[in-house]
A and B are shown apart, each in its own frame.
Chain A
Amino acid sequence: MYKWIKNGFIVIVLLILVFSFTPSYTSLTIDNLAYVVAIGIDKGEKETYKITFQFTTGTSQQSSEQNPSFINSVEASSIDTAINLINAYISKELNLSHCKVIVFSEELAAEGLSNLIYTFINHVQLRPSTNIIISKTTSLSYIENTKPTLESLITKYYDVFPNSNKYTGYVSNVTIGDFFNALVCKTCEPSAILGGVSTGKVDATIQGGNDFYVRSMETNFVGEQGSENLGLAVFKGDKLVGELNAIETLCLSLVRNQVDSFLLSVVNPDNEEEKIDISINNQNFSSKVEIINGTPFITVTGKLKGFISSMAEQDNYADSTTLKRISESVNFHLENLLTQYLYKTSTVFHSDINGFGKYAASLFLTLPEFEDYNWLDNYQYATFQVKMEAEIQTGTMITTS
């Protein structure tokens, strides 16, 4: 009898637990969910925001065609209202756990993104690794035009494109986690990837010899890929205050030690009208902050090693004197570049996107002292000193021609 009661009790308990967990299981099954891969937010015409969702159908077709994705937009007063409206429209529940990018229009970013970022961080489904893009056109246009050419899956493209940061430095892999961290902290300011739509025409404003000075929508690209991500959007607090071009973004990546290798064009010391391409694959940057008479004095020191990529007839890169002169040219070029970039962040943007504040914090013993100093406001008065130490080696396959 006791055994029967015991077994009956176990069965009842198991049934209660099985059925009680069913609602969560049912709501989280793949059949009931619509997976968002990108969210775009623009200013609305009638409501506060116009929110665009890009979905992937999640089919496993083995065809050569691209995996289809579709886009829905809605005007709403908040993100959650928009999600709710789209839930009703597509008759499936939106799931953000596979969202790869969030695109904000430049216009919206200039007004401040704080509330939107906090809302996204509050969403448990959204991963901290989701990239943040500031689009120079509307985010709807950016998402519509994003058509990957080398990947069959849109999600794969979104996964892969920020990785070019490691070998070019022209894009910074900024995630919502990084953005939120920088938004809240008192030692740095946020930044985001600068995106845009390819116009397909050569930008006439870009002068010859300045091919690194490009940024999204001001490029010389001609191709089939609709959108482009080049440069960086600079924020002061939660408001967009400016943009960095490709080479300035590289400077930021260098100062933050976020780039593995990159290419640099410097003036040939033997012929000032020519340029040599140097491939840098080993670099280490360090920063030091001092406060002199109440003003920040920032020293950036970089040590780098590289080899010469370009080669011309009669070039001799096996000669140590030539290599020394090329190294000096690299030093001169990078010192100028970095100094210009650093002064731009301080005097033009007043925004410490480099995060020098963390070094400044070590100069103070207590937080109230540091807060009284108000690093983020004093950064605009900073003076910079850049010291470079380049060691350029010979070419790769050919050392002398």
Chain B
Amino acid sequence: MHTSKIGTMEAIMILLTIVVTHTILSLPKNLLSITKSATIINIIYVSLLALLLVIFIVRLFKKFPGMDILDISEYLGGSLFKKLLGILFISYFLVSSSILLRNFCECLKIVYFPDTDLLFLILLFIIAICIANRLSFTATLKTNLLVIPIVLASVVFLFLANLRNFTLERMYPLLGEGFFNTFVTGIGNISAFGGIAYLYFLPPLLKKPEQYKKIAITSIIITGIYLLLTIATILFMFSFFITEDEIMPLFSAARYIEFGTFFQRLESIFLLIWISVFCCYLSVVMKFSVLILQKITLLKDTNILLPCIGLTMLAISLFPENYAISKFYETTIYRYLVWGFILFANIAILLFANFKKRKKVGETHVQMD
């Protein structure tokens, strides 16, 4: 499969796709349930932390131009380590996206397709992404470039259209559950920036690798603003999302938009946009999974992998016995995976690789002397 290079804007949109899909489902509710009324302050705080973290990651990548995390892991621990990390990444991408797909389809079933079997809803997405990935990656990138700005605009619209329903005082008490909860335990909310995982694979795919830092910083800033808008919409509108759990908080907010008696029930349009962005997200995940698989197996033609990955996604998404289990993954396990694997483990790999490089350079200098 031919791999097209990714432009700067396209790369930013890829990173945004990840956070956008998570916010459609229970991400806003998860953030609110931890830091409660202090979530706005917390989002600003974790956005700054994510920004620092991303700058640090870019710095760590600087000594390995044109290499992704798999190449760096090979440099650090050899081929076996690279394969192991590759498998872990594929597992993470496939499990996360499949469970998210399952949860999204569960919500679609509740709202619009009460009598349709879940299998067919999931299958619809799987077939769509398999076809999209059989075309060139450019198709997904261009669609992403079109859909993500629409989603961002829709969230701004959601915020503005609901202004009359806002109670700004819901951001009080300012520190929510307390200082420790907001600024120490609340660091856990950095898992909202799960798109960082894809940052590890971007360097060799970029048309302009020198823009890597710009891509990373811009995507984090836009993600921060996007999260701030979604959280503000939910927090200012509802008092119950802090304690109660309702499916798709943004969908609930969209149900309140009314302009006179003529423009009502606009949530259907939102759902249509979200279905498109979900397809984009799954296509991106599939593409990156194929790329990793290609890298660790050295396969030349990866078209054959597409149905295999599609079927794996279908199987994983159908695996949880019920919505409660798949939701538990999304709300609890996913957070720890982002923390433990995406942030801690991979930054550790980058750090050790940097130490190794420095040591080697040092040894070379000593030998030359």
The chain A residues found within 8 Å of chain B, CB to CB, are 13, 16-17, 20-21, 23-24, 26-28, 121, 124, 127-129, 159, 177, 180-182, 184-187, 355, 358-359, 361-362, 364-370
B127 contacts the other chain (Cβ, under 8 Å)? yes
Interface residues on B, range: 35 or more
The CA-CA distance from A364 to B38 in the complex, in Å, is 12
Q: With contacts A20-B116, A366-B178 known, is A124 near B169, CB below 8 A?
A: no
Q: How far is the CB of B180 from chain A (nearest CB, A)?
A: 10
B115 at the interface (CB under 8 A from A): yes
Q: Which 4 A-B pairs have the closest CB atoms?
A: A185-B239, A20-B120, A358-B169, A23-B115
Q: Which residues of B contact A16 (CB under 8 A)?
A: 120, 123
Contact B115 A361 (CB under 8 A): no
In the bound complex, residues from chain B placing their C-beta under 8 Å from that of A124 are 110-111
Q: Does B83 contact A (CB under 8 A)?
A: no
Q: Does B42 contact A (CB under 8 A)?
A: no
Residues from chain A with Cβ under 8 Å of B114 in the complex: 24, 27-28
Q: Does B261 make an interface contact (CB < 8 A)?
A: yes
| Given known A-B contacts A128-B255, A181-B240, A21 and B169 have beta carbons under 8 A apart | no
Task: Check if B173 sits within 8 Å of A367, measured CB to CB.
Answer: yes
Q: Smallest distance from the beta carbon of A354 to chain B beta carbons, Å? A: 13
A20 engages B176 (CB within 8 Å): no
Q: B116 and A13: CB pair below 8 A?
A: no
B111's nearest neighbour on chain A, judged by CB, is A124
Task: Tell me whether B263 is interfacial, beta carbon within 8 Å.
Answer: no
Are A366 and B120 in contact (CB-based, < 8 A)? no
* B52 interface residue per 8 A CB criterion: no
Sample 26 A-B pairs with CB under 8 A, ordered by A number: A17-B127, A20-B119, A21-B116, A21-B120, A23-B115, A24-B113, A127-B255, A129-B256, A177-B256, A180-B240, A181-B238, A184-B239, A185-B239, A185-B240, A186-B239, A358-B172, A361-B169, A361-B172, A364-B172, A366-B173, A366-B175, A366-B176, A367-B37, A367-B173, A367-B177, A370-B173
Chain A's closest residue to B258 (CB) is A129
- Per the 8 Å Cβ criterion, residues 162-184 of B in contact with A are 167, 169-170, 172-179
Q: In the bound complex, what is the Cα–Cα distance between A366 and B176 (angstroms)?
A: 5
What chain A residues lie within 8 Å of B119 (beta carbons)?
20
Contact residues in B for A369 (Cβ distance below 8 Å): 173
Interface SS of chain A: helix, strand, loop or mixed? Answer: helix
Q: Are B175 and A365 in contact (CB under 8 A)?
A: yes
CB distance from A364 to the nearest CB of B (A): 4
Measured in the bound complex, the distance between the Cα atoms of B262 and A159 in whole Å is 12
Residues of chain A with a CB closer than 8 A to B243's CB: 184
Give complex CA distance A366, B175 in Å.
5
Residues in B whose Cβ lies below 8 Å from that of A17: 120, 123-124, 127
Complex Cα gap A201–B271 (Å): 52
In the complex, the answer to whether A184 meets B244 with C-beta atoms within 8 Å is: yes
Tell me, rounded to whole Å, the shortest Cβ–Cβ distance linking A196 to chain B. Answer: 26
A129 to B170 Cα, complex, angstroms: 21
B interface residues with partner A (beta carbon < 8 Å): 36-37, 110-117, 119-120, 123-124, 127, 167, 169-170, 172-179, 238-240, 243-244, 246, 252, 255-256, 258, 261, 264-265
Residue of B whose beta carbon sits closest to that of A188: B239
**Contact partners of A187 in chain B: CB under 8 A:** 169, 239
Contacts of B178 in A (CB 8 A): 366-368
- Set of chain B residues within 8 Å of A367, measured between Cβ atoms: 36-37, 173, 176-178
Find chain A residues with CB under 8 A from B265 CB: 127
In the complex, chain A residues whose CB is within 8 Å of the CB of B172: 358, 361-362, 364
Q: Are A27 and B115 in contact (CB under 8 A)?
A: yes
Q: Taking the nearest CB of chain B, how far is it from the CB of A38, in angstroms?
A: 17
- Complex Cα spacing A7 to B124, Å: 18
Contacts of A186 in B (CB 8 A): 239
For residue B240, which residues in chain A have a CB less than 8 angstroms away from its CB? Answer: 180-181, 184-185
**Contact assessment for B120 and A359 in the assembled complex, using a CB-CB cutoff below 8 Å:** no
Instruction: Give the shortest distance, in Å, between B135 (CB) and chain A (any CB).
Output: 14
Q: Which residues of chain A have C-beta atoms less than 8 A from B116's C-beta?
A: 20-21, 23-24
CA distance A158 to B123 in the complex (A): 42
Q: What is the bound-complex CA distance between A82 and B174, given in angstroms?
A: 45
Known: A180-B240, A362-B174. 11 other contacts (CB 8 A): A16-B120, A20-B123, A21-B113, A21-B116, A23-B115, A24-B116, A129-B258, A177-B256, A358-B172, A362-B173, A368-B177
Would you give the shortest CB distance from B272 to chain A, in whole angstroms? Answer: 15
CB distance from B91 to the nearest CB of A (A): 28
| Bound-state Cα–Cα, A159 to B169, Å | 30
Nearest CB of B to A258, in Å: 10
Contact check, A359 vs B169: say whether CB atoms are below 8 A apart: yes
Q: CA separation between A181 and B36, bound complex, in Å? A: 15
A356 to B113, CA, bound (A): 42
Chain A residue contacts of B244, Cβ below 8 A: 184
Q: Which residue among A187, A359, A362, A367 has the maximum number of chain B CB atoms within 10 Å of its CB?
A: A367
Q: Are B173 and A365 in contact (CB under 8 A)?
A: yes
Residue of A nearest to B178 (CB): A366
C-alpha spacing A27/B113, complex, angstroms: 9
Q: Once the chains are docked, how many angstroms separate the CA of A187 from the CA of B239?
A: 9
Instruction: Establish whether residues A365 and B174, one from each chain, have CB atoms under 8 Å apart when the complex forms.
Output: yes
A364 to B37, CA, bound (A): 12
In the complex, the answer to whether A24 meets B256 with C-beta atoms within 8 Å is no
Contacts of A185 in B (CB 8 A): 239-240
* Closest chain A residue, CB of each to CB of B181: A366
B177 near A24 (CB under 8 angstroms)? Answer: no
- The minimal Cβ–Cβ distance linking A129 to chain B, given in whole angstroms, is 7
Q: B113: which A residues are within 8 A, CB to CB?
A: 21, 24
C-alpha spacing A121/B245, complex, angstroms: 12
Residues of A within 8 A of B115 (CB): 23-24, 26-27
Question: Cα distance A159–B261 when bound, in Å?
Answer: 8
CB < 8 Å neighbour of B167 from A24, A28, A184, A358: A358
| Chain A residue nearest to B261 in the complex (CB) | A159
Instruction: With both chains docked as a complex, state the minimum distance between the C-beta of A135 and any C-beta of chain B, in angstroms.
Output: 25
Chain B residue with Cβ nearest A19: B120
| Nearest-CB residue, chain B, relative to A183 | B240
From B111, B124, B173, B177, A361 is in contact (CB under 8 Å) with B173
Tell me, in angstroms, the Cα distance from A21 to B110 when the chains sit together: 14
Shortest Cβ distance from A184 into B: residue: B240
Give A24 to B114 CA distance when docked, in angstroms. 6
Inter-chain contacts of A359 with B (CB < 8 A): 169
Set of chain B residues within 8 Å of A358, measured between Cβ atoms: 167, 169-170, 172
- Residues of chain A within 8 A (CB-CB) of B175 are 365-366
A362 touches B169 (CB 8 A): yes
How far is the CB of A253 from the nearest CB of chain B, in Å? Answer: 15
Give Cα A124–Cα B173 distance, bound, in whole angstroms: 32
- With most chain B CB atoms within 10 A of its CB, the pick from A124, A159, A362 is A124
Alpha-carbon distance between A20 and B174 when the two chains are bound, in angstroms: 49
A366 CA / B179 CA spacing, docked (Å): 8
Shortest A176–chain B CB gap in Å is: 11
Minimum distance in angstroms from A228 CB to a CB of chain B: 23
Give min CB distance, B114 to chain A, whole Å: 6
